[in-house]
Structure 1
Amino acid sequence: MMKNDGPDIKHQPNRELIKCLADCTDLGKITSRIGEPQHDVDPGKIVSIEGKSENKVQTTIDKNKCSITGICGTSNGDLVIADFYNKCLKLLNQAYKVIGQIELPSYPWSMCNISSFEMGMTVSKAALDVLNGIHLLRVDDGNITSKNVLKMNHAFFGIEHFCAELFVTSGTAVYEYTIVGRLVKKLYEDSNGDFTSKL
């Protein structure tokens, strides 16, 4: 190995870009494909499915019927699914067979990829439950392992990862956190109902 005595490089995300993206309501619309005649695509057109398959993800240790609330893929083609009623995550191989499972302390609501083998999962029961948190997980060699749990003082439902930041919803607000759990800021709040903010 060669020793690199050069300077370390650190990337600082452009906050102006993040603010701009927060103000966007959409990324535009598709009007035509390159090389095809120009015409508008009918947004009301029905899309047909050419095929489907069903796979059983219920395992013998499950106490309740499986209810999938989140799904993430890894770079090797495995899938991690969140099973709400059984309070667990299940690892499926490329043949969609359950090869691993990890129990969670409360109900899994949503999940997102952080890297090709890492994901974030919101776990929440009630507004101020001590079990609420963001679980950071990793998939290695057919196993799901918990890397860290970030605890905050509100419920967690939706989650998304962008530019090394986590964006989570509490049901009525959207928060921006660093990947280590430090609050950056509250981006939005609408307390006119129980679930007024979604990711």
Structure 2
Amino acid sequence: MPRCNLPELKTRNNDIYIRYRVYAFFTGNAASVRLISEVTEDLKTSNLTNITYDITAIIQLINKLQTDRVANIRTLQNSYENILAELVIMQQKINDAYDKLEKNTIEKLNSLRIELSDSIQVDINKCMKQADEMKSLNDIVQEIVQKDESLSFIAHQKCCKELSASNELEKEREVHEYLMKLDIRPDILHLVSSLSSLGESAQYNPNKIIKASSNMTTITPKVQKDSSECSIRGICLFANNTTVLVDRDNKKIKLLDKELNVIFYLHLSTFAWDLSQVSFDEVAVTIDNDKIHGVEFFLIKNGSILKKMALYFPHRCRGVTFSMSYLYITSGNALYQYSMTGQQLKKLYEDTAREFTVYKTAICVGKIYVTNSSHHKLITLAMDGTLLSTFTDQELIGPKDVHVTFAGQVLVCGQDSNTILQIDGDGQRETYNIGD
């Protein structure tokens, strides 16, 4: 019921002022006026427990909001620092690409220089030889003239022939003067100059709910030479809408077009367990059996797959994630950080309770998400391997994979529960069940 304070009410009765402070209560067009003492009496007799409880709850919510926003300042700073680190890596890649172009250009220039120098040296040798022959001929002519005039005709013919050869050399010198030039591609500088930045800055909310489309298509990327049903253990989508996946049981890496038809495949040396995109045209694939434990790298170009190189390790290789120029490889019960040359930098985390306690990983904004398939958990680690949180839910059974979208949403797949759950950025609570 609305309430308002009225000013003091003054009445004159026998020249005496009587003052009352009153409250007015309005209900529709009707109003009732009560003394404040009556209202106070009502408050004394009412139970204030519910009000106290509400105030306490609101204070807790406010404190939680404040704590979350303070934490968001830290994660915002982390995302900023990660982007700066990515820019450093991009700069290094651009420098490496430029160094490669410069090296190739210099090699071609040097090859041309050597070719032309050799040609010029041939001319120099001809000149030296011709000069020596002309000097010798001159000496012979002088001797003939002094001793035997009958041989002058023969000497004359010989001199004319040598002089003609010398004239030909002079003409070649005029025609074959070699210089070099380089037609620098203007489109390279134009492209770089036309860019205003290295990317578009944008904000994102890792807790924004992903709504699954009801229009779902089931595909089976099976090829004629597959001996088993497809067992897809890793998949990624490239910018040109082609898809690359690894089929463990058939020991193949497959390339699909935008209609999701298999257009190319390559046999692997053994079982494939995971896949991670390394660059715009390269993927890393974990291969593993009782004897071989490694990561193979493949180039995806012009509708085909080419093997680039392989690294081998002393432990099992299950999951792989590429981030910030490092490889993060799981063995099933441990997470390792490696350089791209295969040097182990650190064992970040370990859980030896079961075989698949450290199975697949995903990385975003200073956090590493790890699936513990054996114990039905999603584990969140700091980049140094410190345990931050553990998530469990009755709808998450046998989590086999975890993925972070470009917008930072964390998705975890429960194989045995046939569910995909969206987890908050801290990896502590479910935000949405995308589908089962």
Same fold, judged at TM 0.5 (above): yes
Gaps of 5+ in 1: 1-9, 14-27, 33-40
Conservation of the 8 A alpha-carbon contact between 2:89 and 2:324: no
Residue aligning to 2:318: 157
Q: Is residue 2:308 matched to residue 1:147?
A: yes
Q: CA deviation at 1:75?
A: 2.1
Aligned to 1:176: 337
Q: CA separation of 1:48/1:120 partners in 2, compared to 1, >3 Å: closer, same or farther?
A: closer
Structure with the greater alpha carbon radius of gyration: 2
Whether the 8 Å CA contact 1:106–1:132 is kept in 2: the answer is no
User: By how many angstroms is 1:133 displaced?
Assistant: 0.5
Please give the residue correspondences for 1:26-175 in structure 2 after superposition, counting only pairs within 5 Å.
30=207, 47-126=211-290, 129=291, 131-175=292-336
Verify the 8 A CA contact 2:220 2:230 in the aligned structure 1.
no
Distance 1:69 1:12, change over 3 A: closer
Task: Quote the offset at 1:12 in angstroms.
Answer: 7.1
User: Could you tell me how far apart the structure 2 residues matched to 1:94 and 1:47 are?
Assistant: 22
Over aligned residue pairs, what C-alpha RMSD do you find? 2.4
Task: State how far apart, in whole Å, the 2-side matches of 1:64 and 1:163 are.
Answer: 36
In the alignment, the residues of structure 2 paired with residue 188 and residue 172 of structure 1 have an alpha-carbon distance, to the nearest angstrom, of 8
Inter-CA distance 74–49: structure 2 relative to 1 (3 Å threshold): closer
Residues 61-90 of structure 1 show CA distances to partners (whole Å, capped at 9, x for unaligned) of: 111111111101222111111111101011
Deviation at 1:55? 2.6
Determine the C-alpha separation between the residues in 1 that align with 2:248 and 2:314: 22
CA positional deviation for 1:48: 4.8
The answer for unaligned runs of 5 or more in structure 2 is 1-86, 91-204, 362-436
Query: C-alpha separation between the residues in 1 aligned to 2:241 and 2:326?
Result: 25
SS of corresponding position for 2:299:
strand
Q: Name the residue aligned to 1:7.
A: none
> Aligned partners of 1:52 and 1:192: how far apart in 2?
38
Could you tell me the TM-score, scaled by structure 1's length?
0.74
Instruction: Name the CA distance, whole Å, in 1 between partners of 2:255 and 2:206.
Output: 35
With normalisation by structure 2, the TM-score equals 0.35
Structure 2 CA distance for aligned equivalents of residues 79 and 179 of structure 1? 24
Q: Tell me, what secondary structure is at the counterpart of 2:300?
A: strand
Distance 1:85 1:48 in 2: 29
CA pair 197-53 structure 1, distance change in 2 beyond 3 A = same
Deviation string 1:108-142 (CA, Å, 9 cap, x unpaired) is: 1111111111111111113xx1x220011110101
| Cα separation, 2, equivalents of 1:12 and 1:59 | 38
Amino acid at match of 1:63: S
C-alpha offsets along residues 34-83 of structure 1, whole Å, 9 cap, x if unaligned?
A: xxxxxxx8xxxx95532011233111111111111110122211111111
CA contact (8 A) 1:75 1:117 kept: no
Q: How far apart are 1:11 and its partner, in Å?
A: 3.9
CA distance in 2, matches of 1:56, 1:197: 28
Distance in 2, Cα, partners of 1:164 & 1:175: 14
Letter in 1 for 2:327: L
Equivalent position of 1:38 in the other structure: none
Aligned residues: 161
What amino acid is the match of 1:113? Q
Q: Say which SS state the counterpart of residue 174 (structure 1) adopts.
A: strand
CA contact (8 A) 1:172 1:190 kept: yes
Counterparts in 2 of 1:197 and 1:145: CA distance versus 1, 3 Å: same
